[in-house]
Amino acid sequence: MKTYLDCIPCFFKQALEASRIAGADEKIQRRVLEAVAETLPKFPMEASPPQMGRIIYNLVRKHTDTDDPYLQIKEQSNRLALSIYDRAMNDLARSQDRLLSAVELAIAGNIIDYGVNNALDIGVELEKILSAERNKTGDENRTFFNIDSFKISLSEANTVLYLGDNAGETVFDRILIEEIKRMDGTKTITYAVKEKPIINDALKKDAVDCGIDTIAEIVSSGSDAPGTIPALCSDEFMERFYKADIVISKGQGNFEGLSDSDRTVFFLLIAKCPVIAADIGCRVGNIVLLHHLPE
């Protein structure tokens, strides 16, 4: 997805928020905002928003002299998500359509952002999202919830590449991966994380802390962009990307980087921003499972 002009105010908002999370004082916060303003004329709008995200967070790191401002937040998100793992698995055991429920949980897990502060909140948020999903009537939303083609493609796949998004959310990815393995233990699943700290995106350590290492091979995208941008990923990762029978991509950042991809991708995300919702043709807050086919 290209960068829309509406993304520009949001870049400044993100820069301010990240500066504050990195502990910057007002003077440094303003310096970061000015540095973002300076890069603006040079930024090509054909590039996808996570490319600017990468620039912004590198500016924050540089001006605040912190390597991983979101470290504590990520660790807290992992702990919180793990604390509701058992309950989620119990719910799943009672489901009439376990794969659908696991998919919905994995997408709903995308709500775990640094705004969510405790297990109760996560429980409430998940319940809200999932009941809104279940209450959907008719085929109204089916254009962006392609569960049937997902089930078919998954059943035919031997190798699965799963692109992770945020720390914490990783626990819900694990639930879906476990369900996929339960249905067919012969599938080989690879879970991709970011190479270096970027916002609250999951790194290898987060995936291990959330128990992904017991069910999937963890690999790095080779990039520190907050999304999968092919030109910034390692050759090794891109080889896996093209060779996998199915690619499951979580979250907005990966969608923004891959929405024009020349291969089939299933995008699982909650549409959190109006620009992305408009691009997909859904509403902010919708649960999305988009079957992307190359043009």
Q: Which residues bind a second copy (CB under 8 A)?
A: 5-6, 8-10, 12-13, 16, 26, 29-30, 33-34, 37-38, 40-41, 45
Longest dimension (CA), the chain: 56
* Between 6 and 148, CB nearer to a second copy: 6
* Between 161 and 275, CB nearer to a second copy: 275
- CA 26/CA 44 separation, integer angstroms: 29
| Rounded least distance, CB 18 to a second copy, Å | 13
| Rounded least distance, CB 14 to a second copy, Å | 9
* Between 8 and 147, CB nearer to a second copy: 8
| Rounded least distance, CB 43 to a second copy, Å | 10
Q: Are strands 246-250 and 217-220 parallel, antiparallel or unpaired?
A: unpaired
| Rounded least distance, CB 30 to a second copy, Å | 6
Helices (H), the chain: 7-21, 26-39, 49-64, 71-83, 85-93, 98-108, 119-134, 147-156, 169-183, 204-209, 235-243, 251-258, 274-280
Retrieve residue 98's tokens: 């376990």
* Between 115 and 294, CB nearer to a second copy: 115
How far is residue 171 from each of residues 93, 105, 237, measured CA to CA in Å? 17, 10, 22
169-183 and 85-93 helices, crossing angle to 10°: 40
* Between 40 and 183, CB nearer to a second copy: 40
- CA 171/CA 33 separation, integer angstroms: 34
Retrieve residue 163's tokens: 């692109």
* Between 7 and 268, CB nearer to a second copy: 7
How far is residue 5 from each of residues 68, 262, 282, measured CA to CA in Å? 28, 25, 19
